[in-house]
Amino acid sequence: MAKLVLIRHGQSEWNALNLFNGWVDTKLSDKGIAQARTAGELLAKEGIQFDQAYTSVLTRAITTLHYALEEAGQLWIPEMKSWRLNERHYGALQGLNKADAAEKWGDEQVLQWRRSYDVLPPLLEEQTETVEVLGKEYPAFDRRYADVPEGELPFGENLKVTLERVLPFWESNISKDLAAGKNVVIAAHGNSLRALVKHIEGISDDDILGVEIANGEPLVYDLADDLSVVSKKVLKPEA
Ligand SMILES: O=C(O)[C@@H](CO)OP(=O)(O)O
């Protein structure tokens, strides 16, 4: 039996501004930092001893992992970062305001882009190293992606494509640790985690539309040796 804990990063600067974030490298807001620390306190209360941590190559997930593990007294554990755990790439929607998008394209279209399994967002025309949004420069396709296999850098992803690029890393690393009985924590993103949750729990393509993962509320799974789910709970801060 192993424990798997999934943590969506705390609120990012762009979550606070209601902007489509995707692969643009934004930071945690002050509220996001507090949420990440609280996630760590909740994990400390549960008494979970981790063996391995995984995160994406995006700052908001990495710093969430670090704040949470520091709070839990386990910042020292081995950690590995992979672009495969990045947020779903939101294509040409990145940097746009979600409410403005709903006004322009309609609520239903935006819901399909945000929560459906297989509807692609409008794609990027080009992959630039940085992007400028609201007068500020943010990292985008920079050298952290130098090791991505030729042709695999996305121009925009739906949940299906996201799951297809998360799964090789799940198979090659995470599932092997779990099968060996290691307790694993993954700090990642709303949609890369929805993809993983779909896979772990066997959720249908239709039902995944209704699945939401809150910032900074750890999902704790007990997994059997064959990685089937024995129990699941969400750790929520006291109201
Ligand atoms: O902006 C994003 O990249 C994601 C997660 O914050 O948003 P959404 O909830 O629309 O999937």
Residue-wise pLDDT tens digits, 41-78 = 999 999 999 999 999 999 999 999 999 999 999 999 99
Give the model's pLDDT for residue 217. 98
Separation in Å, CA 193 to CA 85, 129, 158, 189: 8, 25, 13, 6
Classify residue 130: in a domain, yes or no. yes
Query: Which pLDDT does position 218 carry in this prediction?
Result: 98
Cβ of 15 closer than 6 Å to ligand 1, yes or no, is yes
Which atom in ligand 1 lies closest to the alpha carbon of residue 189?
5
- Residue 171 labeled ligand binder: no
Task: State the amino acid at position 200 in one-letter form.
Answer: I
Domain-located, residue 239: no
- Identify the pLDDT of residue 239: 80
Q: How far is the CA of 21 from the centre of ligand 1 (A)?
A: 6
Residues of the chain with pLDDT under 70: none
The enclosing domain of 101 has a CATH number of: 3.40.50.1240
Q: Please report whether residue 122 resides in a domain.
A: yes
* Per-residue pLDDT reduced to its tens digit, 70-100: 999 999 999 999 999 999 999 999 999 999 9
Give the model's pLDDT for residue 205.
Answer: 97
Q: Which residues contact 181 (CB under 8 A, 6 or more apart)?
A: 1, 2
Q: How far is the CA of 226 from the centre of ligand 1 (A)?
A: 31
Closest listed residue to residue 3, CA positions, set 186, 236, 157: 186
Is residue 103 included in any domain, yes or no? yes
Q: Is residue 210 part of a domain?
A: yes
pLDDT score for 62: 99
Question: What ligand 1 atom has the least distance to the C-alpha of 113?
Answer: 10
Would you say the CB of residue 21 lies under 6 angstroms from ligand 1? Answer: yes
- Tracing tokens 């296999």 back to the chain, one arrives at 149
Q: Is residue 40 a part of any domain in this protein?
A: yes
Report d(CA 65, CA 54) in Å as an integer: 8
Quick one: CA dihedral 65, 66, 72, 78, positive or negative?
A: positive
Which residue from 11, 13, 17, 20 has its CB within 8 A of the most atoms of ligand 1, so it is best to mutate? 20
Active site residues: 9, 87
Q: Is 194 in the pocket of ligand 1 (CB under 6 A)?
A: no
List the domain range (segments joined by +) for residue 32. 2-234
Answer yes or no: is the C-beta of 64 below 6 A from any ligand 1 atom: no
Indicate the number of domains in the chain. Answer: 1
From residue 7, alpha-carbon distances to 127, 165, 186, 219 in Å are 28, 19, 6, 6
| Prediction pTM value | 0.97
